[in-house]
Structure 1
């Protein structure tokens, strides 16, 4: 091999080695481009999934606009039937305590139990009257004695009147005998009055119901010694009528009229009863700023005095605005809503809340109904912030 032949062989060897080095580099570049393409496609798909398919974005930046988008509505105003929700205690509308009227003594028998219905004048308990009966017998005997004296005095007077015409008896004697007769007749009347008094006292030894109604409590047993200072032995709900003593706020109490109706739901049951307000408390509690609305109820076994119940009372109609609960916010300064002014800036508006129902919250004061009120996402806004308002129809 000469020099030229060796040079050509070396050049040929170098050319083959360069080709082998360029092949791996080209493969790496292709893999890199594939990875980048996959990342871009994945980002596009993720963006579509996050933004696509949503009909409404209540709050956030919109495409081509950096201002947050909020949903607003002009609620307007109308005549609303007011209602007041309250709680209270069930009680007898007319509760009658029944105790000992007469002298008292040992209870012989008790004829009723709590929960029984009684009529007016019915005997509830009987007190021993053996001593009093003997006293009545003595009084009856005194009437017979006094009547005998009166008869004798009348006979003496009659005989004297026959002798006075003959001159044997003076007029003075006639007057004396007449007075004796009159005194004897008076003693008869006194004895009869004393007997009637004794019998009346004996009748009071029976504890009777002063009116028809439902016995709520019984606090006496046979053998017990009772007297005028023993307190109430029975408690009766006259006619079985019940009522709810509803505790109502000072403002709401003025909105409720006597005669207004309501729906009462006792705690622990889903039963509902219709009531009617028959009296409003003339006094407001200084601590709670509440008064009592007394709601009359007809008797029902589910209405137990002392139980707790809620009531929805119908109040006066009012012209006001109603908003969903999501639009009303509150803090230590009170209740408020956010409105969007003519410059599309958020402004805080203090409001006074009225009744709350399933339809929403009545705004008693603070809005005219012509404002653009932020319905949702108010907690993410700050006063003075510029927004892009949209309505529900705009999505």
Structure 2
């Protein structure tokens, strides 16, 4: 029994050793196959240039359009704010003795001509006084006519000796006195008529009615408050507040563009007067910009102005080239290594031709004209010079 068991155990051990040797031979065979495959792949890669077909390649540098603007002649401009007003503000009040207003004939916003009646004052007493003076004129003329007739008859009788020369002189003096009384009566009548005419409140010049401060039934008199305000010719102006330094560069005749606050439309105007004094408190002076009438220009409103004060040289860039962030305005330039660099700039006047850059660049740099928002400082790019029209 024991002998048989020992034989059985020796057989099992022999079988296990054979199986292990078989597994080792298979592993060696598989390893040799894998090595052969790797050698083949390496040989194939070397034949293809040393890179596998599906190996990732470096992304090409993006192409960006650049421009070297140089120096262009651009207008120098000054920004200012101020209020709108009538260029010539005409207050209209009572010229004559006044009285009770019977009619008001205009409203704010109406256009009036020179001498047009704006309001009338009750004049019944003055009319009767005028009639009385007109009657006195007729009486004086009748006396003058009688004195002239008596003088003519006396001259006809002087040759016959019925009238002396002294009588002729007396009658001539009587005629002259009567004629003088006619002139006095006529002058008094005209004076009364002028007084009556001054009871009409009239426009001193053609223009636009801005305000009305009187109503029918109101009692007005000399020295009363202003009844109407007119803008002569409807002309407006902006009274731009400027610093002392800016005032030095402004001259009458400089062009300007005025934009009322809350609007987007600009109105062309010209500086017609520069303040000869500076406010000692604010250190500012006023430049008055003349404007043609437009219903969007309302006296008392606030506006901004861009005043052209001359011309100079500066780089002129398209608007797409200038960007801005919390640090201010900037452009991207391409350096000698074809890398992107940020350059902070100061921006001047913006016009249809482009944006004038007052500082930060000279114009000789290669400046990115578009797609700057997709670039980052230090990025490698391929610059391509823009074709100028």
* TM-align CA RMSD: 3.4
Q: Is the aligned partner of 1:287 residue 2:281?
A: yes
Change (3 A) 1:79 1:289: farther
Unaligned runs of 5+ in 1: 1-52, 56-74, 330-352, 373-390
Partner of 1:148: 142
From 212, 215, 222, the counterpart of 2:216: 222
From 263, 271, 281, the counterpart of 1:277: 271
Deviation at 1:263, TM superposition (A): 1.6
Unaligned runs of 5+ in 2: 1-58, 62-68, 317-321, 328-344, 366-376, 382-389
From 156, 172, 179, the counterpart of 1:178: 172
Deviation at 1:320, TM superposition (A): 6.8
Partner of 2:248: 254
Distance 1:233 1:354 in 2: 51
Write the mapping of 1:1-395 to structure 2, written as runs, cut at 5 A: 79-319=73-313, 356=348, 359=355, 362=358
Report SS of the residue matched to 2:180: helix
When the two structures are aligned, how many residues end up with a matched partner? Answer: 282
Partner of 1:343: none
Deviation at 1:137, TM superposition (A): 0.3
Distance 2:115 2:100 in 1: 21
Distance 2:197 2:72 in 1: 66
Distance 2:88 2:217 in 1: 30
Which region of structure 1 is more displaced relative to structure 2, 157-166 or 110-119?
157-166
Deviation at 1:258, TM superposition (A): 2.1
Which region of structure 1 is more displaced relative to structure 2, 226-235 or 304-313?
226-235
Report SS of the residue matched to 1:151: helix
* Conserved? CA contact 1:129–1:202, under 8 Å: yes
TM-score, with length taken from structure 2: 0.64
Deviation at 1:296, TM superposition (A): 1.3
Distance 2:71 2:116 in 1: 60
Distance 2:263 2:380 in 1: 45
Distance 2:227 2:73 in 1: 53
Deviation at 1:362, TM superposition (A): 3.2
Distance 1:393 1:187 in 2: 106
Partner of 1:34: none
Distance 1:295 1:232 in 2: 26
* Conserved? CA contact 1:325–1:361, under 8 Å: no
Deviation at 1:276, TM superposition (A): 1.5
Change (3 A) 1:119 1:84: same
Partner of 2:51: none
Report SS of the residue matched to 1:90: strand
Report SS of the residue matched to 1:165: helix
* Conserved? CA contact 1:77–1:368, under 8 Å: no
Deviation at 1:356, TM superposition (A): 4.7
Change (3 A) 1:159 1:360: closer
